[in-house]
């Protein structure tokens, strides 16, 4: 129990540091390029243009294209938690329910390695179609060492580009989404 608590605390610290560095890097580059200000201005300009135009049948058709999306659709600016919650209907697994080796693998993922196997951190293609549908290259796979196995075994963690993690104990036949806040 103490080991799990220590590993969990370590994972939280690593995730916070990695998240802070990522946010700092991306906020700085977005500010330098004017991306944030430009996007806000464009949105305001588009809203003003629609408000000042006269209504015609063609405008009504265009307005339908701008209608409010369903609450389960992804929106620009959604946080990673909102994003993950909208695309995954897989069962959750808590950190306490993972094998200790999975926590070790997560620590390596958060720090960028080094990984024990050459196939770790390679593209996972989601051929089984169990994970939410994404472009090739979105997911990466990592080995969860299985004690007593002479090879990589069947256990894996698959990570998505926005930070979501999935665990499989049966070599991709089923997945659970890792609740990283548990």
Q: Is 45 a member of any domain?
A: no
pLDDT at 182: 82
- Per the annotation, the verdict on 149 as an active-site residue is no
Alpha carbon separation from 118 to 89, 115, 121 (Å, rounded) = 31, 7, 8
Q: What is the mean pLDDT of residues 25-47?
A: 44
pTM to 2 decimals?
0.55
Structurally, how many domains does the chain consist of? 1
Q: What is the mean pLDDT of residues 122-135?
A: 95
2-33 helix and 35-52 helix, angle to the nearest 10 degrees = 70
Q: Which domain range does residue 119 map to?
A: 1-33+68-182
* Residue pLDDT, tens place only, 89-118: 899 999 999 999 999 999 999 999 999 999
Residues contacting residue 164 through CB under 8 Å, at least 6 positions apart = 80, 83, 84, 88, 177, 178
Q: Is 78 a member of any domain?
A: yes
pLDDT at 42: 43
pLDDT at 79: 57
Q: Is 46 a member of any domain?
A: no
- Per the annotation, the verdict on 141 as an active-site residue is yes
Active-site position among 141, 149, 164, 177: 141
Q: Is 92 a member of any domain?
A: yes
pLDDT band of residue 177 (cuts 50, 70, 90) is: very high
pLDDT at 93: 95
* Residue pLDDT, tens place only, 40-68: 444 344 444 444 444 444 444 444 444 44
pLDDT band of residue 145 (cuts 50, 70, 90) is: very high
Active-site position among 62, 82, 149, 171: 171
Assign residue 162 the CATH number of its domain. 3.10.450.30
Question: Per mean pLDDT, which of 1-5, 137-141, 146-150 is the most reliable?
Answer: 137-141
Residues contacting residue 126 through CB under 8 Å, at least 6 positions apart = 133, 134, 139
């Amino acid at each position: 129990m103490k080991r799990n608590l220590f590993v969990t605390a370590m994972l939280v610290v690593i995730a916070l540091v990695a998240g802070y560095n990522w946010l700092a890097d991306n906020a700085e580059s977005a500010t330098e390029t004017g991306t944030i200000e430009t996007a806000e201005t464009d949105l305001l300009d588009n809203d003003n243009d629609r408000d000042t135009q006269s209504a015609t049948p063609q405008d009504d058709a265009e307005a339908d294209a701008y209608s409010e999306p369903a609450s389960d659709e992804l929106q620009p600016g959604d946080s990673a938690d909102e994003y993950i919650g909208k695309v995954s209907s897989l069962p959750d697994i808590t950190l306490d329910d993972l094998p200790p080796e999975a926590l070790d693998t997560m620590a390596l993922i958060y720090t960028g390695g080094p990984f024990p196997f050459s196939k770790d951190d390679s593209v996972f293609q989601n051929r089984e179609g169990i994970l939410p549908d994404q472009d090739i290259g979105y997911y990466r796979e990592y080995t969860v060492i299985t004690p007593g196995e002479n090879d990589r075994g069947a256990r894996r963690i698959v990570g998505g580009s926005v930070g979501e993690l999935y665990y499989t104990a049966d070599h991709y036949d089923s997945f659970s989404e890792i609740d990283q806040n548990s």
